[in-house]
Amino acid sequence: MRTAIAALLCLATSAAAPVEPATLRDAAAGRFLVGTAVMSAALNDPAKAALVAGQFDALTGENEFKPATLHPRPDRYAFAPADRLVDFAAGHGMRMVGHTLCWHEQTPAWFYQDAAGQPLPRAVGLAHLHDHIAAVMGHFKGRVLGWDVVNEALTDSPDPAAPDLRDSPARRCIGNDFVAQAFAAAHAADPAAELYYNDYNIEAPPKRDRALRLLRSLKAAGLRVDAVGVQGHWALARPDVPTVDAAIAAFAAAGVRVSITELDVDVVQRRGSASTTGQATTRRFDPYRDGCPPVVLAAQAARYADLFRCFVRHGRTVERVTLWGLDDGQSWLNHLHPPGPANYPLLWTARLEPKPALAAVLDALR
Ligand code: G3I
């Protein structure tokens, strides 16, 4: 009898113990949305679909909303793969993010160039940009939280005297105001949708200052920019947390909110860059073909925890943190220098096992 009572008491105690949130969306609730980017084909796998629906409250199409997918020919729109993601998000209480309306990659040449590769007349390119934005945002009206209106327009030049905008087909055709034109068209197409400017490496000067100038100039022109997307394709030691801290504060001071839109933590040294891991490697550019060592996974977990603690500190500014992919098996980083390297940048393994980084993120969010 005594044993039975003790067992009951033990059960009651454990039942009363606080239940720690086991999902990213629950752990981040009230702070920011946590998202993932997938291709619609990932939803064919029930285990992946369950993980996406169970863990995240925001969804980005990794390729489905890009002009090349949605609008391959002037007279043809192909909405089905993006619609599938939008329906999945709606069915699972997730917010959908549209990526992206205007980008120099994954955009058919006919948007801004003639058959000889020369820029189309400004009026023609502008009409293509406006028509695309009106048709795409019109199609998804009310079903997409916000749009990366323009992606990666800023130059990577380290020369502070270089023009802020990169050379691109849209810029050559329309001129420097193509960014402003895109934001004006996006606001007109769906005034209720959030509008974002999205780019990489904008946490660090000099690109951060270029981003700030661009955002201020758009606002000075009376255009609405709700948030800046800091992509967050980062590595174990780069950028350091104070740099991220300072960038978020600077964007907040410029009057925009911040989303981390494409987060991953690369553990493999990139060609032409300094070592990201500090590990001596025999196979310099594909060191972890046979698996990622525990010591590297632990360093990655600590890195993710540091970054999420930083995002939590800026909870009034940071509105969403989206990981660029679901699991290590399908990250774009595995194809950076085909056929490899084998990279391990995300929170689940290719077999959908949780990594130390997942526990570290959940812990940082508690
Ligand atoms: O769909 C074709 C398929 O038919 C073909 O057999 C295969 C052969 O290579 O290619 C497939 O297309 C690939 C597509 O991903 C879908 O898998 C493209 O070659 C490949 O270039 C494309 O890569 C995407 C990349 O953007 C394009 O620049 C990545 O998946 C996607 O993760 C990546 O995402 C970008 C963001 O949009 C912007 N920020 C940087 C980020 C990483 O590069």
pLDDT tens, residue by residue, 187-228: 999 999 999 999 999 999 999 999 999 999 999 999 999 999
Question: Ligand 1: distance of its center to the CA of 344 in Å?
Answer: 18
Structure-block tokens of residue 8: 């009951």
CA angle 94, 258, 92 (to 5 degrees): 5
State if residue 107 touches ligand 1 by the CB under 6 angstroms criterion: no
* Residue 278, pLDDT above cutoff 50: no
Question: 233-235 and 58-61: which strand pairing?
Answer: unpaired
Helix (H, G, I), strand (E, B) or coil at 176: coil
- In the block, which residue shows the tokens 């327009």? 153
Helix (H, G, I), strand (E, B) or coil at 135: helix
Helix (H, G, I), strand (E, B) or coil at 177: coil
Structure-block tokens of residue 117: 């590769």
Residue nearest to atom 23 of ligand 1 (CA): 332
Cβ atoms 146, 226 nearer than 8 A: yes
- pLDDT per position as a tens digit, 56-83: 999 999 999 999 999 999 999 999 999 9
* Residue 272, pLDDT above cutoff 60: no
Rounded to whole angstroms, the Cα distance separating 150 from 66 reads 11
* Residue 282, pLDDT above cutoff 80: no
Rounded to whole angstroms, the Cα distance separating 321 from 311 reads 8
Residue nearest to atom 34 of ligand 1 (CA): 62
Task: Look at residue 18 in the predicted model and tell me its pLDDT.
Answer: 57
The pLDDT confidence band at residue 284, using thresholds 50, 70 and 90, is low
State if residue 264 touches ligand 1 by the CB under 6 angstroms criterion: no
Amino acid identity, residue 291? G
Please report the atom of ligand 1 found closest to the CA of residue 200.
39
Best of 106, 197, 260 for a ligand 1 pocket test (most atoms within 8 Å of beta carbon):
106
Rounded to whole angstroms, the Cα distance separating 43 from 36 reads 13
State if residue 327 touches ligand 1 by the CB under 6 angstroms criterion: no
Best of 62, 107, 234, 330 for a ligand 1 pocket test (most atoms within 8 Å of beta carbon):
62
Measured in degrees and rounded to the nearest 5, phi and psi for residue 24 equal -60, -45
Rounded to whole angstroms, the Cα distance separating 166 from 180 reads 15
| Long-range contacts (CB closer than 8 Å, 24 or more residues apart) made by 301-306 | 301/355, 301/356, 301/357, 301/359, 301/360, 302/360, 303/236, 303/237, 303/265, 303/357, 304/265, 304/347, 304/357, 304/360, 304/361, 304/364, 305/360, 305/361, 305/363, 305/364, 306/241, 306/364
Rounded to whole angstroms, the Cα distance separating 325 from 251 reads 25
Cβ atoms 152, 95 nearer than 8 A: no
Question: Where in the sequence numbering do the catalytic residues fall?
Answer: 152, 262
- Residue 299, classified by CB atoms within 10 Å of its CB into exposed (0-12), middle (13-18) or buried (19+), is buried
Amino acid identity, residue 15? A
C-beta neighbour count of 294 within 10 angstroms? 9
The pLDDT confidence band at residue 271, using thresholds 50, 70 and 90, is low
- pLDDT per position as a tens digit, 302-339: 999 999 999 999 999 999 999 999 999 999 999 987 77
Task: Look at residue 13 in the predicted model and tell me its pLDDT.
Answer: 43
C-beta neighbour count of 291 within 10 angstroms? 11
Q: What mean pLDDT comes out for the span 287-310?
A: 97
Start-end of H helices in 56-168 = 67-70, 80-91, 122-139
Cβ atoms 349, 328 nearer than 8 A: yes
